[in-house]
Amino acid sequence: MRTTLRLLAATALCAAVPAIARDQAVTAVQTAPALSLERVFASPALTGPAPRGVKLSPDGRWLTLLRNRADDRERYDLWGFDRTSHKWRMLVDSLKLSSGRDLSEAEKMQRERQRIGDLKGIVSYEWAADGKSVLVPVEGDLFLAGLDGTVRKIAGASGDVLNPALGPKGKNLAFLRDRRVWVGPVAGEGTPVAVTPEEASPTVHWGEAEFVAQEEMSRFKGLWWAPDESRIAVERFDEAGVGVVTRAAIGAEGTKTFDQRYPVAGSPNAEVSLWVMSPDGGARVQVDLGPDKDIYLARVDWAPDGKTLYVQRENRAQTVLDMLAVDPATGKGRVLFSEQAPAGGWINLSDDYRFLADGSLIWWSERDGFGHLYHFKDGQWRQLTQGPWVVTGLVGVDQKAGRITFTGTKDDVLAQQVYALDIAKPEKIERLTDLAFVNDATMDAKGQTQVVSRSGDAQPSQSYLADAHGKRLAWIEENKVAGDHPYAPFMASHRPAQFGTVAAADGTLLHWMMIAPVMEPGKTYPVFTYHYGGPHAQVVTKGWQGALAQAIVDKGYIYFAIDNRGSANRGVAFELPIAKAMGSVEVEDQLAGVNYLKTLPFVDPKRISTFGWSYGGYMTIKMLEAHPGTWAAGIAVAPVTRWQLYDTHYTERYLGDPQRDMGVYEKSNALADTAKIADPLLIVHGMADDNVVFENSSAIIAKLQGEAVPFEMMLYPGFTHRISGPTVSRHLYETMFRFLDRNGGYRIVVVGATGNVGREMLNILAEREFPCDEIAAVASPRSHGTEIDFGESGKKLKVQNIENFDFTGWDMALFAAGSGPTAIHAPRAAAAGCVVIDNSSLYRMDPDVPLVVPEVNPDAIDGYTKKNIIANPNCSTAQMVVALKPLHDAAKIKRVVVATYQSVSGAGKDGMDELFEQTRAIYMPTGEMSPPQKFTKQIAFNVIPHIDVFLDDGSTKEEWKMVAETKKILDPKIKITATCVRVPVFVGHSEAINIEFENEISAKEAQDILREAPGVMLIDKREDGGYVTPIECVGEYATFVSRVREDPTVDSGLSLWCVSDNLRKGAALNAVQIAELLGRRHLKKG
């Protein structure tokens, strides 16, 4: 039994006693704090340190990385670990190099492509060849930082510099500025000079990767130094033929427009060429890429000896990838080999290959249906890895030892590991990492030292230095969640992820992940499903899922994700079903996950919502179109709605050429079936999005409006595809959850929310997880604008003024305002279509208003439509009829004599305060005791046989209420007399009830009946303490019955003791139970 009040000893009365009894609760167990969205996005980051760009110096002595600041999670500085002294120190403080200048538009766009647009400070760096200095770009300027702490700004390398690249020998530096390549010496007095022509057309760029190469091909470089620095390979592209999209960066200060060259599906790409030149720009030779100009420049690499330039050329359809071996002196090349796409499929580009000193190549390919490693030597192929799993990355090659290190899913598709094999004997694969974690790694150029990063369910990312065989040499970031780690306070409530599978329609097993809150037996919970659903992504893994998922669980949701067919790391056959069929199998597989959820007894099947971003946003819309009524609500962030608006390389890879495959596009688009959307939809978009351009959302907005389909929208002026940053991220997710709260149940008003009963109504609504879309706290004008807790949910409600509150559109109003305000505002609410559940005495005896106790007379609620009002009985009546009802049904009650012992909380906050002040005055005399205000006599250490006003027959109105209300609720033929007494107890009404029956009933029979009765808790042991007192019932829902015994003064009679929390069953709880009954019978949702 939960107890929220304990004995109030006189010695403790010197402590302040709050006016509301539930605020006196003594918490026996301190639980972890709830994880709020505000905390998730605040600094320091809950993941702990989040290093980026881990590298080893050329001589192997130093390990360097970019580390974010504890007080600014988005700002990064350069740190170094001296492997000799085993000490860390900051090598470059980004704040000291910052000019405060805004980034150029070109750098902003490039960072957006790299998904680092929200980062500040140092976002990249490069070691010099001698291992004694580091090249550091900051806000368009270049600096050379020495290990001795010196930092030198490179002359002539400032002002919107992009993509700096040190020569492999450390002599020269190349970078981009004003669409040209500039080269200069690293040391000495020389300044950089432009080595590419100054083009008249602003559409021509040298040394830069074109848009689709950055966005879709993960190629961000447009220049490549030869190993001996004798030559540079430089890309040139001309985007004159690419269509222009006017991108409006709408911000709070106004609107800026940018003409962006954006190659939509089916339109011309930038024309790309590749050139080889000397560092001074001389001896420029164009590489022969073949007669077809409509190709993709996928990858460019120099052979280790610098004698050959290797170029990967991909055709426009992305079905053939040619490896060209080019003579850099002449630009002439030959096809070394070609990679062919599977039938009906495409080529997945990869960076997992390595040219070796002996002229051979380690190569990743999906030619056998799974991504594996191959050795290409002397024109012959040898497969190194094989099986129904995938190699996810080539980590490094120790050419001297003939050893390859790679990552893959050999042991667990959900937990990537690091492995190694000998090229000569590849059949023996050695796992180097712990299966309890999801692992990744990078290596030094010699393939002898690796940096392993890993995470687990309850462990944010860690990183350590290891040798080639996986032996840990030193922690880089142990990131142990303990002590002062930002996430440590929340570990006690961290909920582990669970994993399983369901079958798709074709029998393919789909992996799901679930994180559930602490569950109570018999309760059901809403589900927040996250999906991406598109290719090249895997959502379900056994790694760290992030603090956001835990915060969602702390809100009471089950967090769920499932990887559908079309997603990554399951092989070609798993990915291929989306070919020319986007928005089909992915939707059905997500539905399979939802259907599984609905079989679980703890899932509320009517409160499963879905959320996705980018491709996931597209999926949300397609899911709501295909299966209306399945989801409680859907959220689509930055959704693609017309694939003709998305870029060439991505879209044509999966859907083909829209000029030839228009039917495929129309079927895959998210606009054809918008009229079928019946579930609440929230669309979110950054208005400066240069990836999924805003026209996608404006297209569906216009379509939905034209079809009169309701939806909601949130726009973020000035934000791009990611909509990121601490405050805006918090705003986005709070917006999302307010939307979900509004679309899972009812709109509820609590009137008189700041009083004892009103607060208790809010507590109980929260405790019982009443399905509220929206809840409003309303009170008198003096409380307007104050905040009140919505139970223990952590949610704050701003109190609104009853005088001007509009009840239109609200489902139910729970009134706890007293008869005066109720007389004014309850009819107004009822006339607006809002059902009133009133706790005052105003309507209890109105013949057109049902007086309801759900356990006793639930059918009476059907009469609420006469006035749209339901009355809640007097607190003493409510608990008594709950106990009497089952006995009346069994033996028919003839007569009832009741004496009540009613607590001061029945008189409101003022009554509780008066008891406290009088008691304190007695035990801590500081002057005369104040005269009674709320009661007619002193209440402390006294009883008062007088509640409410006296009537002509000598009874009080409280006693009349018990008589009249019991007759209306239970049976008008029952004879009743009551004596109502106020006692010095803060919360909990007690009643001594004597009952005379028409039919025989024994005490034992009565106990058996009461033990099974709804709403009753029988605690009746004939021994010391074998009964319930008021202090034990506080905070409980039940009506407690004790001391059941036979009355020998009548032929068939019983006496019993009845106790209940008057603020709960006597008022707030009964009102909420009425609301629940009304919802089940008349105001059904979903």
Mean pLDDT over residues 71-94, rounded? Answer: 91
| Pairing verdict, β 633-637 and 558-562 | unpaired
Measure the CA–CA gap between 901 and 904, rounded to whole angstroms.
10
Q: Same structural domain for residues 704 and 573?
A: yes
pLDDT at 722 over 50: yes
Q: How much is the pLDDT for 192? A: 93
Same domain, 1041 and 901: yes
**Residue 840: pLDDT over 70:** yes
CATH number at residue 600: 3.40.50.1820
Looking at residue 934, its amino acid is: K
Provide the pLDDT confidence category of residue 957 given band limits of 50, 70 and 90.
very high
Most confident of 187-191, 736-740, 900-904, 1082-1086: 900-904
Residue 1066 is predicted with a pLDDT of: 81
Indicate whether 269 pLDDT > 80: yes
Helices (H) and strands (E) in the chain, counts: 20, 58
Mean pLDDT of 811-826: 94
Percent of the chain topping pLDDT 90 = 79
Q: How many CB atoms are closer than 10 A to CB 960? A: 18
Count structural domains, the chain: 3
Residue 1031, domain CATH: 3.30.360.10
Whether the CB-CB separation of 490 and 550 falls below 8 Å is answered with yes
Give the residue, 574 or 50, on which the prediction is more confident: 574
789 and 915 fall within a common domain: no
Q: Confirm if 476 and 451 have CB atoms less than 8 A apart.
A: yes
Residue range 880-894, pLDDT digits in tens? 999 999 999 999 999
**Domain membership flag for residue 491:** no
Does the pLDDT value for residue 1019 go beyond 50? yes
- What average pLDDT does this structure show over 87-109? 88
Question: Does one domain contain both 640 and 688?
Answer: yes
Q: Quote the pLDDT of residue 10.
A: 25
Same domain, yes or no: 893 and 1035: yes
Q: Contact, 1053 vs 994, CB < 8 A? A: yes
Residue type for 926, please?
Answer: T
Domain hosting 599: range is: 502-739
Residue 387 belongs to a domain: no
Nearest partner of 229 among 280, 299, 163, judged by Cα: 280
The pLDDT of residue 117? 79
Average pLDDT of the chain, as a whole number: 91
pLDDT at residue 466 above 60? yes
Q: Encode pLDDT of 471-491 as tens digits.
A: 999 999 999 999 999 999 999
Q: Is the pLDDT of residue 13 over 80?
A: no
- pLDDT reading at 768 higher than 90: no
DSSP-derived secondary structure for 312-326:
EEEETTS-EEEEEEE
Do 689 and 811 lie in one domain? The reply is no
Please report whether residue 456 resides in a domain: no
Whole-number percent of the chain with pLDDT over 70? 96
Tokens of 901: 């012992």
Q: Is residue 363 part of a domain?
A: no
pLDDT tens digit sequence for 1044-1076: 999 999 999 999 999 999 888 888 999 999 999
Q: Which helix (H) or strand (E) holds 560?
A: strand 558-562
Q: List, for residues 634-656, the tens digit of each pLDDT value.
A: 999 999 999 999 999 999 999 99
Question: Is 77 part of a structural domain of the chain?
Answer: no
**Cβ count within 10 A of residue 1009:** 18
- Looking at the structure, tell me whether residues 633 and 717 fall in a common domain: yes
Number of CB atoms found within 10 A of residue 923's CB: 12
DSSP 112: H
Decide if 728 is inside a domain.
yes
Q: Check whether residue 539 and residue 618 sit in a common domain.
A: yes
* Stretch 593-608: mean pLDDT: 93
Residue that finishes a domain, picked among 739, 763, 784: 739
* pTM of the entire predicted model: 0.72
Residue 830 has pLDDT above 90, yes or no: yes
The per-residue pLDDT for 4 is 27
Say which CATH number the domain at 787 has: 3.40.50.720
| pLDDT at residue 932 greater than cutoff 80 | yes
User: How confident is the model at residue 909, as a pLDDT?
Assistant: 85
921 residue type, one letter: A
Question: Is omega for the bond preceding 44 within 30 degrees of 0, making it cis?
Answer: yes
Q: Are residues 764 and 735 in the same domain?
A: no
Q: In terms of Cα–Cα distance, which of 718, 719, 693 is closest to 256?
A: 718
| Confidence band of 106 (pLDDT split at 50, 70, 90) | confident
| DSSP conformational letter for 873 | P
Does the pLDDT at position 25 exceed 60? no
Helix (H, G, I), strand (E, B) or coil at 489: helix
CA 250 to chain centre: 26
Residues acting as catalytic residues = 614, 689, 721
Strands of 239-358 (E only): list them.
Answer: 244-251, 254-261, 271-277, 285-286, 295-302, 309-315, 320-326, 333-340, 353-355
Q: Tell me what pLDDT residue 249 has.
A: 65
Whether residue 924 is found in the same domain as residue 794: no
Given a cut of 50, whether residue 901 has pLDDT beyond it is: yes
User: Residue 32: what pLDDT?
Assistant: 66
Question: Which one of 705, 739, 773 terminates a domain?
Answer: 739
Q: What pLDDT, on a 0 to 100 scale, did the predictor assign at position 250?
A: 62
Mean pLDDT of 312-321: 98
Residue 606 included in any domain: yes
The Cα–Cα gap between 323 and 347 comes to 13
Residues 109-126 pLDDT 10s: 888 888 777 889 999 999
1036 and 965 together in one domain: yes
Q: Residue 611: what residue type?
A: F
Burial degree of 379 (CB within 10 A; 0-12, 13-18, 19+): exposed
Q: Looking at the structure, do residues 830 and 957 belong to the same domain, yes or no?
A: no
The answer to whether residue 1029 scores a pLDDT higher than 50 is yes
The answer to whether residue 376 sits within a structural domain is no
Quickly count: other Cβ atoms within 10 Å of residue 378's Cβ: 7
pLDDT in tens, 704-716: 999 999 999 999 9
- 421-438: average pLDDT: 98
Contact between residue 108 and residue 126 where contact means Cβ atoms under 8 Å apart: no
**pLDDT value of position 1035:** 85
**Cβ 683 vs Cβ 697: under 8 Å:** yes
Domain boundary among 693, 718, 739: 739
Confidence of residue 266 (pLDDT cuts 50, 70, 90): very high
Q: What is the mean pLDDT of residues 797-826?
A: 93
